[in-house]
Chains A and B, each alone.
Chain A
Amino acid sequence: KNQVEQSPQSLIILEGKNCTLQCNYTVSPFSNLRWYKQDTGRGPVSLTIMTFSENTKSNGRYTATLDADTKQSSLHITASQLSDSASYICVVRNGYNKLIFGAGTRLAVHP
């Protein structure tokens, strides 16, 4: 069954600290994996997209990793800011052009 599981479900960190969000998937065949940031009540905004051959991709303070062998991805946020408070959603596209969404990790950055 195609599934995307994210952990933790929610996370609270202090401003300036780093954090890592996890995504495990059982999607097959795999096409690509994306991380989205979604502010409350808004549409998701793409942070990174990674294909099978890519291990690491950065977008400013966001760095995503992909291990296609273990079917795991992580999103690392460096030097967190208050504006990083949002839900982070992992989305995997399968070979049939279907997107499978994770439930998201809700991150709260406190001053």
Chain B
Amino acid sequence: DAGVTQSPTHLIKTRGQQVTLRCSPKSGHDTVSWYQQALGQGPQFIFQYYEEEERQRGNFPDRFSGHQFPNYSSELNVNALLLGDSALYLCASSAMGQYEQYFGPGTRLTVT
């Protein structure tokens, strides 16, 4: 049983560009959450998707958007990249109503 998977593992983009990160949840999970983790900091909640809709959102600008597909996989899109968007982006999956949340290995985004 594969856990949470994310792609790509590492990405380098230029300021102003757009990026799409992908996440496949753990088998049996229907809820996907995205987090941004700057170096040396704890993860910051971006948003959560359930039943293909954004259910909760953290304090992130509209440049950050997402999508969830019928197979529960999810994408995180970031437009007009800024240098400050450089971080480890984590995806976590869970079953709605369950406490346990499983994290993927993350995508390291570097904006130059």
> Which residues of A are interface residues toward B (Cβ below 8 A)?
4, 32, 36, 41-46, 49, 89, 93, 97-99, 101-104, 106
Instruction: Name the residue of chain B whose CB is nearest to the CB of A101.
Output: B42
Q: A97-B56, A99-B45 are in contact. Are A44 and B99 (CB under 8 A)?
A: no
Q: A43-B92, A101-B44 are known contacts; what are 5 more A-B pairs with Cβ within 8 Å?
A: A44-B43, A49-B99, A89-B43, A98-B56, A99-B33
Q: A44-B90, A93-B99 are in contact. Are A104 and B42 (CB under 8 A)?
A: yes
Interface residues on B, range: 20 to 34
A41 touches B99 (CB 8 A): no
B103 touches A44 (CB 8 A): yes
- Considering the chains assembled together, what is the distance between the CA atoms of A49 and B94 in angstroms? 14
- Considering the chains assembled together, what is the distance between the CA atoms of A42 and B91 in angstroms? 11
B42 touches A89 (CB 8 A): yes
